[in-house]
């Protein structure tokens, strides 16, 4: 039984890495992706990758371009359909409720972090732009800071810009090469010498500041304009947004 489980886990890892390679090739054909690391990423250990969320294309884009494979915490709705649930399983994703009461999802994340894997999470709990985004100081899901404190693992903050333009079907045409910008910040660690509730607050404050700082650094690094930044679907008239 143990040998069979190991074989299944190995097959899942192979399939997930192969999928990431295929996705990377697809995005290479339609996007000009520019990536910058503003800080050191932890080595030889598990950690949390936390990013803003502006489109459905963020998980595959980030997952295919990050240095390590990412096990995404995915919303439970993706597991209600058998085909989608099977895909999530073979991509090593696992479900979590967005109301912050999912202890099973938290335990799965803690176990994978302990195994030395990278767990990806979108603290906004869904796609956000404008005033509802962490890029403009909106509140985030507190579970990510709790995960950091309970696991003792670092959070690597990330900001992605440009993928919302992929909702426009015209941008998938050959040679369009939609620009996408990704920035990874300095790792955030929790303190173990203070009560957990205070440690969570400090981590959450640090992560909130990191999102805003990364956005500003990307703007400066690549001389971005307001037109390059995420916006609400209503503000991008003429583009084919999904609901």
Residues 196-212 have pLDDT tens digits of 999 999 999 999 999 99
Query: Which residue in the block uniquely carries the two structure tokens 């050191």?
Result: 40
pLDDT for the residue numbered 174: 79
Residues 6+ apart with CB under 8 A from 88: 74, 78, 79, 94, 95
Sequence ranges of the domains in the chain:
2-235
Q: Residue 7: which pLDDT band, with cuts at 50, 70 and 90?
A: low
Residues 6+ apart with CB under 8 A from 51: 58, 62, 120, 121, 122, 157, 158, 159, 160
Neighbours of 209 (CB within 10 A): 14
Instruction: Give the separation between CA 227 and CA 155, rounded to whole angstroms.
Output: 29
What mean pLDDT is predicted for residues 144-171?
95
CA angle 153, 124, 167 (to 5 degrees): 120
Instruction: Give the separation between CA 181 and CA 150, rounded to whole angstroms.
Output: 31
Instruction: Give the separation between CA 51 and CA 111, rounded to whole angstroms.
Output: 21
What mean pLDDT is predicted for residues 14-22?
88
pLDDT for the residue numbered 5: 63
pLDDT at 51 over 60: yes
Instruction: Give the separation between CA 34 and CA 9, rounded to whole angstroms.
Output: 32
User: Would you give the distance in Å from CA 203 to the centre of its chain?
Assistant: 17
pLDDT for the residue numbered 161: 97
Pick among 3.40.1130, 1.10.12, 1.10.3470, 1.20.120: CATH of 2-235? 3.40.1130
Contacts 24+ apart (CB under 8 A), 16-21: 16/69, 16/90, 16/91, 16/92, 17/69, 19/90, 19/91, 20/63, 20/64, 20/69, 21/64
pLDDT at 243 over 60: no
Q: Which two tokens stand for residue 70?
A: 């990412």
pLDDT at 10 over 80: no
Mean pLDDT for all residues in the chain: 89
């Amino acid at each position: 039984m143990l040998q069979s489980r190991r074989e299944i886990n190995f097959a899942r890892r192979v399939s997930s890495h192969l999928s990431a390679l295929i996705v990377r090739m697809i995005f290479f054909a339609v996007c000009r992706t520019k990536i910058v690391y503003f800080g050191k990423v932890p080595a030889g250990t598990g950690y949390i990758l936390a990013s803003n969320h502006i489109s459905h294309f963020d998980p595959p884009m980030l997952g295919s371009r990050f240095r390590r494979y990412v096990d995404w915490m995915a919303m439970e709705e993706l597991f209600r359909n058998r085909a989608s649930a099977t895909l999530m399983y073979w991509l090593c994703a696992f479900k979590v409720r967005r109301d912050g009461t999912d202890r099973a999802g938290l335990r799965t994340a803690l176990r994978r972090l302990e195994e030395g894997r990278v767990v990806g999470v979108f603290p906004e709990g869904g796609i956000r732009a404008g005033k509802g985004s962490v890029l403009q100081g909106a509140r985030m899901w507190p579970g990510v800071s709790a995960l950091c404190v309970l696991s003792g693992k670092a959070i690597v903050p990330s900001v992605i810009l440009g993928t919302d333009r992929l909702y426009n079907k015209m941008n998938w045409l050959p040679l369009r090469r939609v620009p996408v910008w990704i920035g990874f910040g300095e790792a955030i660690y929790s303190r173990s010498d203070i009560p957990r509730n205070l440690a969570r607050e400090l981590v959450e404050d640090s992560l909130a500041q990191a999102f805003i700082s990364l956005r500003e650094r990307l703007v400066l690094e690549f001389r971005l304009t307001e037109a390059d930044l995420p916006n609400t679907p209503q503000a991008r008239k003429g583009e084919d947004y999904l609901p």
